[in-house]
Amino acid sequence: MTTKVAPAAVLARFRSGAGERCRLEERGSESVEIVVVLPVLMALLVIGLQLAMWGLAAHALSLGVAEGGAAARAQFGGPAQATALVEGDVRSIAGTLVGSLKVAVHGLPDDFVVVSATGVVPMIFPGLELHVSAVSAGPVQGFRASG
């Protein structure tokens, strides 16, 4: 058997101070939540933006080095052509997002060529310096006389 509570009784209990105590205990809690939660959310947003910039820079450098490696391994390609291609691809994809770009082309024994590049991502989160690098290696393409 359920008992019905009259609305007047609920209103009387609220007016007696039970509801007022609940509201008084929570006074100022929004300010504390904003002071604590808002800086944490802002830090997460900045870290997320920094990591997105790093991801784009790493992707651009990887694509540029792959194209430069293909040019360096071509039969009539060379280090100058590979370096120019890497720099051009990285600048066209990432713009100025990859700073201090350094490209190196090395010839190895048995007609292998290695193209490597490194760079630095601009810093927006203090104390976090991110570097990107990529390497492409393979044999020089061309016709070879068989045995």
Determine the structural domain holding residue 23 and report its residue range: 13-139
Q: What integer is the mean pLDDT of 28-33?
A: 73
Q: Does residue 7 belong to any structural domain of this protein?
A: no
Residue 106: how many CB atoms within 10 A of its CB? 12
Cα distances (Å, whole numbers) of residue 80 to 16, 84, 106, 115 = 87, 6, 11, 11
Query: CB neighbours (10 Å) of residue 131?
Result: 12
Which strand (E) or helix (H) includes residue 81?
Answer: helix 79-94
Q: Is residue 116 part of a domain?
A: yes
Say if 120 falls within a structural domain. yes
Is 145 within the bounds of a domain? Answer: no
2 domain residue, yes or no: no
Domains held by the chain: number:
1
Model-wide pTM > 0.75: no
The answer to whether residue 44 sits within a structural domain is yes
Average pLDDT for 121-140: 86
Residue 88, both tokens: 């051009």
Cβ pair 61, 130 in contact under 8 A: no
The answer to the question of residue 46 being in a domain is yes
Sign of the Cα pseudo-torsion (10, 12, 13, 17, in order):
positive
Q: Mark 57-95 as b/e (b = at least 16 C-beta within 10 Å).
A: bbebbbbbbbbbbbbbbeeebebeebbebbbebbeebbe
**pLDDT band, very low/low/confident/very high, at 28 (cuts 50, 70, 90):** low
Q: What is the pLDDT of residues 76-124, one digit of tens each?
A: 778 888 888 889 989 998 888 888 899 999 888 878 889 999 999 988 8
Give 27-74 as a 3 state SS string. Answer: CCHHHHHHHHHHHHHHHHHHHHHHHHHHHHHHHHHHHHHHHHHHHHHC
Across the strands, what pairs with 120?
99, 131
